[in-house]
Chains A and B, each alone.
Chain A
């Protein structure tokens, strides 16, 4: 029973077949549960908004302020408002996914194949997020500066052109693999330790995992905001 509880399953998925497309069911299951919890939490907190914040509203306002500061410092005073919901959603999604994956004992729920875990430990999720960031900064640059956005590629000298083009590929790559690698590695380390020594020893690593999870969410949101800020920045 214990070995079953602690068994490692890497790279196995719960496949859903819809027509001829295949989905990783466990990713959607956990993400729906976690996002549902997040939405319930937010609905409860914003149900009765008062000028004198109490309880949940206080926490949500703190969160809002935190996200605003993040967006404002990275994107700049002028357009941070347009991008704050996106940056905040990225932060909340990654944070809730990471922590949800680390805190909830998903392994207790048996699936026919694969296992439940952090949605961000699946490469599809992180690539989806990273590509959204790429699309966003292109859109932000083009909508704010028009064709002048491409001046960015030859700024400060045209020698930068190949590197800047390369960056457009390395940005989503590094974003997605950083998040994916960190969360998967954390799950694997905890899984292996639980498998080897099921008592006490994994606890510090679990705490480290919580720390890493929070940091990764912050890093992802900060970098996304930074890329958008870079795209809308005016060169003089």
Chain B
């Protein structure tokens, strides 16, 4: 039953090599061409087209992303400069109002000082006038007293 008929067999055997070999080779070569046109080429085209599509999309998305990042950075610097500008304006306004306040205060102080001085001077002059008058009256009175005393004698 187990007929192991090795090399040199005329009929049958495991190692019976005959025209099957070249015909099988031709069949495999033919199969290669058939599979190439039926399977490898069309599937390859579809897969590679899709791969190209995907990689193109990825590149595009990357470009867009970098653009977005650039715009974001631009906006950020703009925001920054706007903020410093606002700060500057605010501090300028503060300085301005401070200055105005100080000026007004000084003006008011000066005015107050001036009117105070004036009042003081007036008071002084009035005081001296009153004192003069008083001393004059005193003089008059003393003279009157003296005269009366002299006359009575």
Contact = CB atoms under 8 A, between A and B. Distances in A.
A117 to B, nearest CB: 12
Interface residues of B, number: 39
Interface residues of A, number: 49
A119 B49 CA distance: 36
A184 B4 CA distance: 13
B152 to A, nearest CB: 147
Contacts, number: 127
Contacts of A127: 17, 21
A61 B47 contact: yes
Contacts of B35: 42, 85, 88-89, 92
A85 B43 CA distance: 12
B101 interface: no
Interface stretch (A3-11, A156-164, A206-214, A227-235): A3-11
A125 B21 CA distance: 6
B28 A123 contact: no
A64 B15 CA distance: 34
A61 B38 contact: no
B42 A125 contact: no
A71 to B, nearest CB: 10
B36 A12 contact: no
Contact of A60 (B12, B16, B28, B39): B39
B141 to A, nearest CB: 132
Nearest to A67: B40
A49 B43 contact: yes
A49 B39 contact: no
Contact of B12 (A11, A46, A84): A11
Nearest to A41: B39
Contact of B5 (A11, A43, A86): A11
Contacts of A7: 1
Interface string B17-47: 1111111110111011011101110111011
Interface of A: 7-13, 21-24, 27-28, 31, 35, 39, 42-43, 46, 49-51, 53, 57, 60-61, 64-65, 67-68, 84-86, 88-90, 92-93, 119, 122-125, 127-129, 131-132, 184
14 contacts: A8-B2, A10-B3, A23-B19, A28-B24, A85-B35, A85-B36, A88-B35, A88-B40, A89-B28, A89-B32, A89-B36, A93-B28, A125-B20, A128-B22
Interface of B: 1-5, 9, 12-25, 27-29, 31-32, 34-36, 38-40, 42-44, 46-47, 49-50, 53
